[in-house]
Amino acid sequence: MMEFTKMHGLGNDFLVFYGQQDLPENVSELAIQWCNRYFGIGADGLVFILPSDKADFRMRIINSDGTEAEQCGNAIRCVSKYVFDQGYTDKERITIETLGAGVQQVVLQVEQGTVQQVRVDMGEPILDGLSVPTVLEGSPVLAQPIETAGRKFDFTAVSMGNPHCIIYVEDAPNFELDTWGPKLEVHPYFPRKINVEFATVTSRDRVEMRVWERGAGPTLACGTGACATLVSSVLNGLTDRAAWIGLKGGDLFIEWNAQDNHVYMTGPAEAVFEGSIDI
């Protein structure tokens, strides 16, 4: 049996596991089975909190389709809340090792003994087209035309440890996400597939965004996607360097600091229930 805690960051939900030394051998199969919302527990992915020789904790994320994600902003907030609330650390500043973005600094906002908000140093955005990765040269890749199924878009490419394609549309909350997200995710421009964000700028300090996540499909929120959207919006001259990103599950506050070039994400995480499952 393995014990888990169901958690979410603005509706982007995970089964969080603590205590393993490494991933189970059949973790991809387990993710597909357990994340199924009809025949399993239901989640966007599995999150394993593991030992680290570089940081306080190490995080690995397995998407609902069995693939591994390099980084996830909502998952790192869930991990941060979990380790403090469960008593595995008493520090309000911790470090978490990630697969794609290295060691990240986290500040916990604690009230009455529990974490209410988490501020994460998400590191520097990667803007070089080949490093995102795309097949396109250029740094940054801005307003790049892309066509799929007879429709043309313009996108900006940003990596926050995982790849993102940001597209501006007139009405992101009502955009045909399920139609265009899966097509763009596997476009030949993106050799490792890509997360797709559709965004609408409503003011200098607010952007509405909807996301199609690589390996998970439509989710209620994406922390790295919110960070990438803010970076893209600054690069395109659409917002200031700090703004609220409105997601289907709620808002994240994102800052792109001009002094250190790092992106900072602030938002909540919640535990929903605990359980155990037979592996």
| Residues tagged in the binding site annotation | 12, 63, 73-74, 162, 195, 213-214, 223-224
Binding site for substrate, by residue number, is: 12, 63, 73-74, 162, 195, 213-214, 223-224
Contact between residue 98 and residue 75 where contact means Cβ atoms under 8 Å apart: no
Of residues 35, 78, 165, 222, which has the active-site annotation?
222
Catalytic annotation present for 72 = yes
Instruction: Name the 3-class secondary structure at 184.
Output: helix
Long-range contacts, 39-45 (Cβ 8 Å, 24+): 41/4, 41/6, 41/15, 41/275, 41/277, 42/13, 43/6, 43/13, 43/14, 43/15, 44/12, 44/13, 44/14, 44/213, 44/216, 44/219, 45/14, 45/15, 45/69, 45/72, 45/75, 45/215, 45/216
> Element (H or E) spanning 195, and its range?
strand 195-203
Name the active-site residue from 72, 78, 165, 227. Answer: 72
Enzyme catalytic residues: 72, 222
